[in-house]
């Protein structure tokens, strides 16, 4: 009887393997054929762009740095590699992939948080589709869990929960209605309330992996010969103490790179019309901010 | 480890291999070791709790068995139950009461001598405490013989498929099976695997996916409008069903593979046409435990008050059910609401039955449908208290549902689509099991080809749209 | 008392409690077989039986009455 069981389980296993392979490969094919959306933008950042100025970061990078302003004022090619919900680990992975292909001249990192979070490294799932062909980022992806290598035996796994996004990314309709603008995504809402104060001291435990990633990011950027600028873009929040900024600032001064903190810039703190929500500028705010950055960069390049 | 962790997916096959390679005589020790290993993997120190409960129960029940004197037996019973309840009360309720007293007195500028306590609740304590108390009472009532083998008793208390979240089983059903573990039974193993597969589907594809949306809404109640809060509150019962129901199926399936029959915990609850019927289909093991050990003795003691005795018994029983779920006012309100629903039904049962008979309503599809909807609404309304963090939040939800206008918040359309897809599959299966039990047999099809395809498709679906990141099982705080 | 007498008296009680004049009792009859006989009405039934036969049950004995046959035996043992 045990033989019968093992035989039947094997039959199911084979069928699953075949289906997983077929469906997984199909998903992979269409993932890399997308013409719009988050997947497309990340693939651009990692595999196709050759822009001389790159911006890295989370949603704050993605919505705060306007391409035309950088292109016109600095006479440079530009790509915004920021991605919603993805932190320094993701950003370092993308930079690693970029540097296997070419060397950009200017690298901007929109700095985020370095504390230990509840959902650990779940967000690294955005890198899973690239595990296969990008050896340089595998160690970062494997931080997700000790079993990641086993899970990646499934061809579907890297595309878990993405099937609808892959479908819409392939539809012309979405490519036409929301064409890619050098990776930048403009926000158009306006924050309805007045500024709030954040004095609550919540537990902050530094995540060593994130610090390591930040230092790695800075070092490989420097080694590649690029000019690097680390920036904390505006928030619509007043606070006494911001440990993310303090930590970021410390690391950057240790590594001898500029850290520009815009969290106390009154031009933004006094104007809720420039923000869509407490952490994100809208297009109006992003335009003003981008102009500020461009000016500072010009000065920075002149000084050096 | 929990059922949905990778650790379990490695542990369980390994255990199966060891288990079936072991001679039958030594299988129960293997299970005992495995159960402790399973539990230690979560937090080692709490295994001591299991040892304490098993030891105390063993000694006191054997003592109870040795005497014929009624008062002595009763004393053993009461001491035993008290000792077993102490850890539960301490870990679950003490810190809440303690912290409440600190705040209560602080407002009056008084000091409570103890500091604020933050205790980590031993997972499953509510479940195995009840399981053990059931055993003790059954021995006292002479329903079963006392268990002389302390190892078997320890296994009964710590049995890993059931220890974390039930079903809450009875000694009468479990002890004989644990003592007579069988040879490898092909059909039981296959049945168990099917149950586990569907349980994983329910948990990973339906419950955790819906949970993402419900959490997003309920964690920011003040920012969402009435329609959104209503929608999330309607989805939540389905999430709980898929969560606890799915987890129960995995537990039952796991036990089945080991050759042990465990009771069903859910029976297509959303097709109940009244709250009484609902509670015969939802979390069956808990309600049957409460009925046998709390409700029946109470309603028996109050029987001279006729139907009002029943009402009192119901209110007390569901009050206990409420606080069993959590040491918070919201759960008390939840429990009271169940008590009120059932009392109302107890009081109107006769008249309702006569009315239905007169108009031949019981066979009419529309009447059944009405009953199903009404029951669902009542349950969903009570579950708002089950989900909200505090009484204020729950009332805020109610208030906002009726007063805040605005469009439905979608968030991620893809996630809602996946939720609906999974939920429709689940409800369709339940619907066909309920009303057309011999049609649409996929897992039970006569044709091997269809069965293999069905199993494979579910596995593929789990890989495609199951939630792998996060999604903790909600009943773990118990 | 004879078994048949008990059965007849019990039938009257059942018919009254469950408002069903056509109910017929058999030894194997359980709560599953009778509409409205559930945990909510069970105690009402028990109370009526106690009153009618002038007996008093103990809690332990309740569990031993799983079907009508058990009930009859329990009743006979108490009168």
Phi/psi region, residue B73 (left: phi>0; alpha: psi -120 to 50; beta: rest), is alpha
Output the CA–CA distances (angstroms, integers) from residue A187 to A48, A66, A67, A290, B115, in the order listed. 25, 11, 14, 14, 48
User: Please, is B50 exposed, middle or buried when counting C-beta atoms within 10 Å of its C-beta (0-12, 13-18, 19+)?
Assistant: buried
SS3 at position B414? helix
Q: Examine the domain organization and report whether B157 and B197 are in the same domain.
A: no
Boundary of a domain, candidates B134, B163, B184: B184
Band (A123; pLDDT cuts 50, 70, 90):
confident
What one-character DSSP code corresponds to residue A106?
E
What is the pLDDT tens value at each position of chain B, 478 positions in all?
A: 788 888 899 999 999 999 999 998 899 999 999 999 998 888 788 889 999 999 999 999 999 988 888 888 899 999 999 999 999 888 888 878 887 888 888 888 777 777 777 777 788 889 999 999 999 999 998 889 999 999 999 999 999 999 988 799 999 999 999 998 878 889 999 999 999 999 999 999 999 999 999 999 999 898 899 999 999 999 999 999 999 999 999 999 999 999 999 999 999 999 999 999 999 999 999 999 999 999 999 999 998 888 899 999 999 999 999 999 988 889 999 999 999 999 999 889 888 888 888 888 778 889 999 999 999 999 999 999 999 999 999 999 999 999 999 999 988 888 999 999 999 999 999 998 888 877 666 788 888 899 999 999 999 999 999 998 754 444 443 4
Q: Considering the domain boundaries, does residue B177 fall inside one?
A: yes
Spatial CA neighbour of C17 closest among B314, B348, C43, B304? C43
- Beta bridge partners, A229, equal A108
SS3 at position A275? strand
Q: Examine the domain organization and report whether B179 and B204 are in the same domain.
A: no
Output the CA–CA distances (angstroms, integers) from residue C55 to A121, B307, C18, C76, C78, in the order listed. 69, 20, 21, 10, 7
Q: Examine the domain organization and report whether B127 and B248 are in the same domain.
A: no
Neighbour-count burial for B337-362, b at 16+ CB within 10 Å, e otherwise? bbbbbbbebbeebbeebeebeeeeee
d(CA A90, CA A85): 10
Establish how many alpha carbons lie within 13 A of residue B375's alpha carbon, considering only the half-sphere containing its beta carbon.
22
- Beta bridge partners, A281, equal A275
Kindly state the average pLDDT of the residues A283-304.
85
Q: Hey, are the CB atoms on B295 and C39 less than 8 Å from each other?
A: yes
pTM of the model: 0.91
Boundary of a domain, candidates B128, B161, B184: B184
Residues 6+ apart with CB under 8 A from B351: none
Q: Hey, are the CB atoms on A1 and B184 less than 8 Å from each other?
A: yes
Predicted pLDDT of residue B470: 53
Beta-carbon contacts below 8 Å between A and B: 64
The alpha carbon of A220 is separated from its chain's Cα centroid by a whole number of angstroms, namely 17
Q: Hey, are the CB atoms on A145 and B6 less than 8 Å from each other?
A: yes
Testing the interface with B: which of C43, C55, C63, C64 to mutate, by most B Cβ within 10 A? C43
Band (A263; pLDDT cuts 50, 70, 90):
very high
Q: How many CB atoms lie within 10 A of CB B153?
A: 24
Which pair of structure tokens corresponds to residue A281? 């500028």
Out of B142, B276, B300, whose CB is closest to C40? B276
Q: Which CATH superfamily is domain C3-78 in?
A: ACP-like (1.10.1200.10)
Which pair of structure tokens corresponds to residue A130? 């690239």
Q: Considering the domain boundaries, does residue B478 fall inside one?
A: no
Q: Hey, are the CB atoms on C44 and B276 less than 8 Å from each other?
A: no
Testing the interface with B: which of C39, C41, C45 to mutate, by most B Cβ within 10 A? C39
Q: How many domains does chain B have?
A: 2
SS3 at position A231? strand
Which pair of structure tokens corresponds to residue B116? 């604020």
Query: In chain C, which residues have their Cβ closer than 8 Å to the Cβ of B304?
Result: 47
pLDDT in tens, A20-37: 999 999 999 999 999 999
Query: In chain A, which residues have their Cβ closer than 8 Å to the Cβ of B417?
Result: 164
Spatial CA neighbour of B297 closest among A212, C58, A87? C58
Spatial CA neighbour of A57 closest among A109, A135, A119? A109
In this prediction the ipTM stands at: 0.90
Q: Hey, are the CB atoms on A15 and B456 less than 8 Å from each other?
A: yes
Q: Considering the domain boundaries, does residue B1 fall inside one?
A: no
Query: In chain B, which residues have their Cβ closer than 8 Å to the Cβ of C47?
Result: 303-304, 306
C–A touching, 3+ CB–CB pairs within 8 Å: no
Q: Hey, are the CB atoms on A15 and B415 less than 8 Å from each other?
A: no
Q: Examine the domain organization and report whether B161 and B88 are in the same domain.
A: yes
N-to-C CA span, chain B: 15
Q: Is the model's pLDDT at A211 over the cut of 90?
A: yes
User: Please, is A202 exposed, middle or buried when counting C-beta atoms within 10 Å of its C-beta (0-12, 13-18, 19+)?
Assistant: exposed
With CA atoms as reference, the chain B residue closest to A123 would be B469
| E-only strand ranges, A87-175 | 106-110
Any alpha helices (H) in B95-146, and if so which ranges? 95-107, 125-140
Establish how many alpha carbons lie within 13 A of residue A276's alpha carbon, considering only the half-sphere containing its beta carbon.
15
d(CA A64, CA A54): 13
pLDDT in tens, A68-81: 999 999 999 999 99
Which pair of structure tokens corresponds to residue A40? 């497309």
Q: Hey, are the CB atoms on B300 and C38 less than 8 Å from each other?
A: no
Testing the interface with A: which of B206, B469, B470, B472 to mutate, by most A Cβ within 10 A? B469
Q: Hey, are the CB atoms on B460 and A19 less than 8 Å from each other?
A: yes
| E-only strand ranges, B292-449 | none
Q: Examine the domain organization and report whether B64 and B206 are in the same domain.
A: no
With CA atoms as reference, the chain A residue closest to B464 would be A160
Residues 6+ apart with CB under 8 A from A240: A199
With CA atoms as reference, the chain A residue closest to B6 would be A147
Q: Examine the domain organization and report whether B302 and B161 are in the same domain.
A: no
Out of A4, A23, A164, whose CB is closest to B460? A23
DSSP assignments along B134-202, one per residue: HHHHHHHTTSSPPP--HHHHHHHHH-HHHHTT-----HHHHHHHHHT--S--HHHHHHHHHHHHHHHII
d(CA A249, CA A231): 10
Predicted pLDDT of residue A302: 56
Q: Assign domain A2-303 one CATH number from 3.30.2420.10, 3.40.50.1110, 3.40.190.80, 3.40.50.150.
A: 3.40.50.1110
Residues 6+ apart with CB under 8 A from A290: A64, A65, A66, A69, A70
Q: Examine the domain organization and report whether B174 and B303 are in the same domain.
A: no
With CA atoms as reference, the chain A residue closest to B205 would be A161
Q: Examine the domain organization and report whether B31 and B110 are in the same domain.
A: yes
Residue A53: in which H helix or E strand, if any? strand A53-56
Residue ranges per structural domain of chain A? 2-303
Spatial CA neighbour of A258 closest among A291, A288, A297, A224? A297
Q: Examine the domain organization and report whether B342 and B439 are in the same domain.
A: yes
d(CA B285, CA B225): 37
Spatial CA neighbour of A254 closest among A195, A304, A211? A211
Predicted pLDDT of residue A301: 66
Beta-carbon contacts below 8 Å between B and C: 46
- Least Cα separation, residue B341 to chain C (angstroms): 12
Band (C4; pLDDT cuts 50, 70, 90):
confident
Q: Are B430 and B439 in contact (CB under 8 A)?
A: no
Query: In chain B, which residues have their Cβ closer than 8 Å to the Cβ of C41?
Result: 346, 349
Out of C19, C39, C46, whose CB is closest to B350? C19
Output the CA–CA distances (angstroms, integers) from residue B289 to A240, B77, B279, B338, in the order listed. 54, 17, 12, 16
Predicted pLDDT of residue B477: 38
Neighbouring chains of A at 3+ CB pairs under 8 Å are B
Q: Examine the domain organization and report whether B164 and B251 are in the same domain.
A: no
Q: Hey, are the CB atoms on B349 and C63 less than 8 Å from each other?
A: no
d(CA B246, CA B265): 10
Spatial CA neighbour of C9 closest among C55, C63, C40? C55
d(CA B331, CA B388): 10
Q: Examine the domain organization and report whether B262 and B335 are in the same domain.
A: yes
Q: Does the CB of C58 have a partner CB in chain B at under 8 Å?
A: no
Q: What range does the domain containing B323 cover?
A: 188-473
Interface of B with C in 267-286 (CB under 8 A): 276, 280
pLDDT in tens, A154-203: 999 999 999 999 999 998 888 888 888 999 999 998 988 888 887 766 77
Spatial CA neighbour of B349 closest among C37, C33, C31, C45? C37
Triad A228, A230, A235: Cα angle to 5°: 155
What one-character DSSP code corresponds to residue B44?
G
Interface residues of chain B, partner chain A, Cβ below 8 Å: 6, 20, 184-186, 189-190, 193, 413-415, 417-418, 452-453, 455-457, 459-460, 463-470
Q: Examine the domain organization and report whether B180 and B194 are in the same domain.
A: no
Boundary of a domain, candidates B132, B154, B184: B184
Q: Hey, are the CB atoms on B143 and C63 less than 8 Å from each other?
A: yes
Which pair of structure tokens corresponds to residue B214? 């419900």
Spatial CA neighbour of A113 closest among A95, A142, A86, A137? A86
Query: In chain B, which residues have their Cβ closer than 8 Å to the Cβ of A5?
Result: 186, 189-190
Out of A2, A119, A145, whose CB is closest to B184? A2
Establish how many alpha carbons lie within 13 A of residue C33's alpha carbon, considering only the half-sphere containing its beta carbon.
12
């Amino acid at each position: 009887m045990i033989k019968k069981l093992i035989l039947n389980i094997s039959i199911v296993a084979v069928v699953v393997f075949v289906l997983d392979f077929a469906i997984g490969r199909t998903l992979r094919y269409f993932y890399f054929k997308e013409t719009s959306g988050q997947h497309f933008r990340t693939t651009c950042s990692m595999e196709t762009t050759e822009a001389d100025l790159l911006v890295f970061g989370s949603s704050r990078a993605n919505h705060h740095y306007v391409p035309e302003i950088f292109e016109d004022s600095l006479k440079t090619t530009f790509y915004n590699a920021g991605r919603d919900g993805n932190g320094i680990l993701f950003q370092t992975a993308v930079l690693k992939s970029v540097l296997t292909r070419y060397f950009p001249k200017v690298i901007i990192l929109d700095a985020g948080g370095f504390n230990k979070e509840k959902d650990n490294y779940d967000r690294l799932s955005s890198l899973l589709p690239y595990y296969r062909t990008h050896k340089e980022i595998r160690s970062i992806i494997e931080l997700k869990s000790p079993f990641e290598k086993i899970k990646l035996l499934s061809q579907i796994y890297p595309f878990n929960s993405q099937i609808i996004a892959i479908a819409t990314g392939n539809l012309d309709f979405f490519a036409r209605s929301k064409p890619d603008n050098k990776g930048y995504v403009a926000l158009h809402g306006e924050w309805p309330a007045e500024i709030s104060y954040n004095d609550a001291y919540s537990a902050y435990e530094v995540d060593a992996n994130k610090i390591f990633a930040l230092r790695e990011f800075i070092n490989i950027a420097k080694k590649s010969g690029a000019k690097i600028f680390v920036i904390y873009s505006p928030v619509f929040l007043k606070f006494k103490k911001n440990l993310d900024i303090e930590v970021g600032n410390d690391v950057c001064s240790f590594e001898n790179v500029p850290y520009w903190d815009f969290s106390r810039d009154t031009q933004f703190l006094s104007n809720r019309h420039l923000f869509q929500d407490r952490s994100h500028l809208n297009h109006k705010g992003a335009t003003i901010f981008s102009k500020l950055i461009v000016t500072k960069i010009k000065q920075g390049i002149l000084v050096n | 480890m929990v059922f949905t962790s990778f650790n379990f997916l490695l542990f369980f096959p390994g255990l199966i291999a060891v288990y079936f390679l072991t001679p039958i005589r030594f299988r129960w020790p293997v299970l005992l070791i495995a159960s402790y290993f399973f539990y230690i993997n979560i937090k080692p120190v709490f295994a001591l709790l299991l040892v304490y409960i098993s030891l105390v129960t063993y000694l006191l029940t054997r003592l109870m068995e040795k005497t014929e004197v009624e008062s002595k037996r009763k004393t053993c019973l009461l001491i035993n139950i008290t000792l077993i309840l102490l850890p539960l009360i301490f870990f679950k309720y003490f810190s809440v009461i303690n912290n409440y007293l600190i705040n209560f007195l602080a407002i009056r500028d008084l000091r409570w001598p103890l500091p604020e306590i933050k205790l980590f609740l031993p997972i499953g304590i509510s479940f195995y405490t009840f399981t053990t108390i059931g055993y003790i009472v059954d021995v006292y009532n002479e329903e079963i013989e006392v268990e002389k083998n302390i190892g078997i008793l320890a296994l009964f208390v710590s049995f890993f498929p059931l220890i974390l979240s039930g079903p809450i089983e009875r000694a009468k059903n479990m002890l004989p099976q644990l003592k007579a573990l069988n040879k490898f039974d092909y059909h039981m193993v296959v049945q168990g695997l099917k149950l586990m597969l569907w349980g994983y589907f329910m948990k990973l594809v339906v419950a955790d996916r819906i949970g993402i949306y419900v959490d997003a809404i309920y964690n920011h109640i003040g920012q969402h409008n009435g329609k959104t809060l209503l929608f999330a509150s309607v989805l939540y019962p389905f999430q709980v069903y898929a969560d606890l129901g799915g987890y129960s199926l995995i537990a039952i399936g796991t036990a089945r593979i080991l050759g042990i029959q465990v009771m069903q915990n859910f029976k297509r609850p959303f097709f109940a046409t009244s709250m009484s019927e609902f509670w015969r289909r939802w979390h069956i093991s808990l309600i049957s435990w409460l009925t046998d050990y709390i409700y029946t003795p109470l309603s028996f003691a109050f029987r001279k008050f006729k139907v009002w005795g029943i009402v009192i018994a119901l209110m007390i029983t569901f009050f206990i059910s409420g606080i069993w779920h959590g040491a918070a006012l919201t759960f008390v309100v939840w429990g009271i609401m169940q008590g009120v629903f059932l009392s109302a039904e107890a009081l109107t049962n006769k008249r309702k039955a006569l009315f239905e008979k007169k108009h031949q309503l019981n066979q009419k599809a529309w009447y059944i449908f009405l009953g199903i909807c009404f029951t669902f609404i009542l349950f969903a309304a009570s579950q708002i208290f089950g989900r909200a963090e505090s009484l204020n939040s729950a009332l805020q939800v109610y208030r906002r549902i009726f007063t805040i206008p605005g469009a439905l918040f979608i968030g991620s359309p893809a996630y809602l689509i996946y939720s609906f897809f999974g939920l429709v599959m689940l409800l369709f299966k339940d619907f066909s099991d309920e009303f057309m039990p011999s049609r649409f047999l996929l897992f039970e099809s006569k044709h091997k080809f269809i069965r293999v395809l069905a199993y494979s498709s579910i596995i593929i679906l789990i890989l495609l749209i199951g939630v792998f990141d996060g999604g903790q099982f909600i009943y773990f705080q118990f | 008392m004879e078994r048949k007498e008990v059965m007849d008296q019990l039938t009257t009680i059942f018919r009254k409690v469950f408002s069903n004049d056509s109910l017929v009792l058999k030894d194997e009859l359980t709560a599953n077989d009778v509409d409205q006989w559930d945990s909510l009405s069970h105690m009402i039934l028990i109370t009526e039986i106690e009153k009618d036969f002038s007996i008093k049950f103990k809690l332990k004995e309740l569990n031993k009455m799983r079907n009508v046959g058990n009930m009859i035996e329990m009743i006979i043992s108490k009168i």
